[in-house]
């Protein structure tokens, strides 16, 4: 994972065979892989390729750039393929040292994959890199890339917009009792209301207004079941 905000060149060397899932989150990048010519990506986009004793060049333009990369060794990949048959094409490509067969899978990264990356990065920042739950999230992300099911949306979403929607959801959940919490958090994201509504529904399977209503009802039920609060007025005040 790296971040740069100036023109620069990075030379990448690999002496081991591995598969790389490369997620280009923000900015633009121009890069050259061995014997494959120059390619350009603009975030959010991703590709998946085989690295086998290569020396590549990556040139970054003078715009903020952020990427998220996952490298899977040949040995680990073979073990994972026994658990997930969909990984078989990757095993075949790495055994044949055929990076071109996978490199062409350059795709725009849909909101579901961006959200999965956000959850993985949150776990890594919390020091949970070796926990089983984090490993499962990484495995799920790789499978999402291979499935590559189309996601039809009215709007395109950037990585930063998905982060803002996820953060708004967290704050709405924390402050259910605040009047106007939903409208204020939508405004703070800077995302148009209709686009926010669609993005929220994509991530949480509910429109934000319905999510807030149901979350408040669930909180009221929990408080009532605990028996410490019996007044409907008090429940309403605590739950919004």
**Strand, helix or coil for residue 151:** coil
Closest CA to 204 of 170, 238, 154, 233: 170
Structure tokens at 19: 């598969």
Q: Picking from 4-13, 46-55, 230-239, which range would have the lowest pLDDT averaged per residue?
A: 4-13
Q: What is the mean pLDDT of the chain?
A: 80
Task: Summarize pLDDT for 51-93 with one digit per residue, the tens.
Answer: 665 555 555 554 567 888 888 888 888 888 888 888 887 788 7
Compute φ and ψ for 11, nearest 5 degrees: -100, 120
Kindly state the percentage of the chain with pLDDT values over 90.
33
Sheet holding 107-108, edge to edge: 2-4, 65-73, 17-26, 45-52, 107-108
More confident residue, 147 or 113: 113
| 120-149: average pLDDT | 89
What pLDDT is stored for residue 86 in this prediction?
Answer: 82
Question: Which residues lie below 8 Å from residue 193, measured CB to CB, with a gap of 6+?
Answer: 186
Confidence of residue 225 (pLDDT cuts 50, 70, 90): confident
144-212-229 Cα angle (round to 5): 130
Q: How far apart are CA 123 and CA 125, in angstroms?
A: 5
Compute φ and ψ for 175, nearest 5 degrees: -120, 55
Task: Summarize pLDDT for 10-61 with one digit per residue, the tens.
Answer: 666 666 677 778 888 888 776 665 556 666 777 888 877 776 655 555 555 5
Structure tokens at 10: 């990075």
Strand boundaries in 84-137, DSSP class E: 107-108
């Amino acid at each position: 994972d790296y971040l740069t905000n100036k023109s620069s060149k990075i030379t990448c060397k690999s002496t081991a065979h591995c598969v790389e899932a490369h997620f280009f989150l923000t900015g633009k990048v121009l890069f050259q892989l061995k014997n494959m010519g120059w390619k350009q990506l603009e975030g959010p986009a991703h590709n998946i390729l085989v690295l086998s004793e290569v020396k590549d060049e990556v040139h970054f333009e003078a715009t903020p750039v952020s990427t998220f990369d996952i490298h899977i060794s040949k040995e680990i990949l073979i073990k994972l393929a026994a658990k997930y048959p969909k990984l078989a094409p990757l095993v075949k490509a790495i055994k044949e040292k055929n990076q071109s067969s996978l490199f062409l899978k350059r795709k725009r990264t849909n909101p579901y994959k961006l959200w999965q990356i956000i959850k993985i990065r949150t776990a890594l920042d919390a020091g949970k890199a070796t926990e089983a739950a984090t490993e499962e999230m990484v495995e799920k992300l790789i499978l999402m890339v291979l499935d590559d099911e189309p996601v039809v949306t009215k709007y395109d979403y950037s990585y930063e917009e998905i982060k803002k929607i996820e953060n708004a959801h967290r704050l709405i959940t924390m402050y259910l009792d605040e009047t106007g919490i939903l409208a204020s958090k939508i405004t703070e994201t800077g995302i148009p209301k209709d686009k926010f509504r669609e993005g929220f529904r994509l991530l949480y399977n509910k429109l934000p207004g319905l999510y807030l209503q149901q979350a408040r009802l669930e909180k009221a039920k929990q408080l009532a079941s605990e028996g410490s609060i019996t007044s409907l007025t008090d429940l309403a005040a605590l739950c919004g």
